Structure 1
Amino acid sequence: MAQAAKQLSFAALRRQIKTERPANVYLLHGEEGYYIDALAEAFEALVPEADRDFNLYTFYAPETDINTVVDTCRRYPMMADFQVVVVKECQAVGANELNKLVPYVGASSNTTVLVLCSRGAKCKSKELEKAVAANGGVVFESVKLRNVSEAIAGFVKEKELNIEPKGLAMLADYVGSDLSRIYNEIDKLTVALPQGAMVTPEVIEKHIGMSKDFNNFELVKAMSERDALMAYRIADYFKSNPKNNPFVLTISMLWTYYSNLLLLLYSKDKSEAGLCAQMGRKGNWLSPDYKSGMRMYNAWQLIEILRLIRRADCATKGIDSRRDPYDIVRDLLFNILNATGRV
């Protein structure tokens, strides 16, 4: 089969599976399980439904002898160009067992696509990983999601849509770091919108159900401007819609915002690029929320606020408190807005 690139992104690899002749061997491993599950499904989809009894084999490494996997890979496909052999849960077996696949990888069958899935952990066999890469196979490491906004932006682009900055922030706020949920929500937009359409806050509100006016993005904006009335309205909305507005996420976003704000106040480079770098972000565009916050809060107030957020976080977890978490969040907003900086 065709030689394949040894390192590909998730989007590129999924595209390659659909459009190109696959390589003989794929090793999918790493912390982020969603990518591995999605790619395994893509490989399985290469075999037509009617042919799956003959040309698709799924094994679970802890329950299967490796020699059985190798024997299956050596078989010829039935009335097809190739067969697909998927071995799941490779993370549950040791390196010695996985090493038994190395001789096969070095002389793999051109009529078999072998897919090895180590979900949630890197492959325990360095020897197998090297063999796959050295023999025209593909090694894909599924890295844990670090930047939700980048993942959303990438998937929106992959779906041939565009998204406004506020819409991007709203989605990141709403879906969190659950990749499965991210892809499902954006798939909804793909069905509802034409190719090249712009994903706006109004579109998100209509098709996903998140309020464009009452969300954590707008809450941070209200707090940055010390708009108490709007902040309390959003807090009350959260309490009336707890399923879509978990208080844990609200406290986390407040912590992120105010801790970043403290970093910005102490930054020596006050240019937008310098301030972004201070927060560990690329680019030279600073959110207006941070610009407003730098005017509204001083360092001593921010130190007090971070203490208040930590106490509120403990209280919502039942430490020295049995109050409704949303009432604790509302009181936290009041205390933040009235922080004097006495610590």
Structure 2
Amino acid sequence: MSILQERTQQNKKKRSRAARWDVKYSPYIFILPFFILFALVGLFPLAYTAWVSLNEWSLLGGQGDFAGLDNFTSVLNERDFWIALRNTLSIFVIQVVPQLIIATVIAAALDRNLRNATFWRMAVLLPYVMMPVAVALIFSNMFGDRYGLVNNVLGTFGLSPVAWHNDVLASHVAIATMVNFRWTGYAALILLAGMQAIPRDYYEAATIDGAGAFRQFFSITLPQLKPTAIFVVITATIGGLQIFDEALLYDLAGTGGPDKEWLTLTLYLYNLGWRDLDFGRASAVAWLLFLIIVVIGLLNLFISSRISSSQGKRK
């Protein structure tokens, strides 16, 4: 074999090896910038917060003595933490359930053959792009105890005014209404994308079989929409348990109410960190909130997967 042939074979082997490496490793190289950015802005703050939660740490004095789990114990023994947890879960339930129902109805309406469909889809998203501060200020005045628009409307029907800033359930309904105003359109567009991914052949076959619009919606749309609905539920869970702007701006004081009627976990965390200047206990609350979100998110995923599997077995 000549030297030229040997070099040609060696070059072929190198190119073949480089091609195998390219197929095997280039996808990881392409997604590497995301993981680097995620490590910098996601994992590092999370790990650093865990370290802060294990120490006595103040805004003015900086890091103090190692405290172990004392910050967690102190937080769990405080009444305000359990009130904030109750309020957060209550607002979350009041907000998420109507949001998913209304978003599904809006998505189903937008999935029809409407004139100017792009305009209506953009209009649904307008509340989402509004500043949370503006939404909170507008709705806090609408739900005013004396001169609020809602109480004025109730008065025209002969109903008694509601103490929106002094009653626990009423304040939760008001804050949940603010959140739903901003996020329902966003959830509706995600559900709409899932609906449009459903093959149209299913609806044509159902129409030939004589199924009406409602029967098609419950027999075709909702079952096929489950993966998208699970995603919306999980994202709504993460966002619903981190309510902050609406609770902070619901009154002028920003402390969660005179008797902590709408104090949420994030607002409680904010008060510990920036009012009491106790970063150690604030970081402990942040980690407790993170664990609560993970547990509820996994519970939602488990329930959704069980429902999907049970319906699949019946088929």
TM-score range, shorter chain: under 0.3
Please report the TM-score for the alignment, with normalisation by the length of structure 1: 0.22
Larger strand proportion of the pair: 1
Which structure's CA Rg is the greater one?
Answer: 2
Q: Which has the higher contact order (CA 8 A, sep 6+)?
A: 2
Please report the TM-score for the alignment, with normalisation by the length of structure 2: 0.23
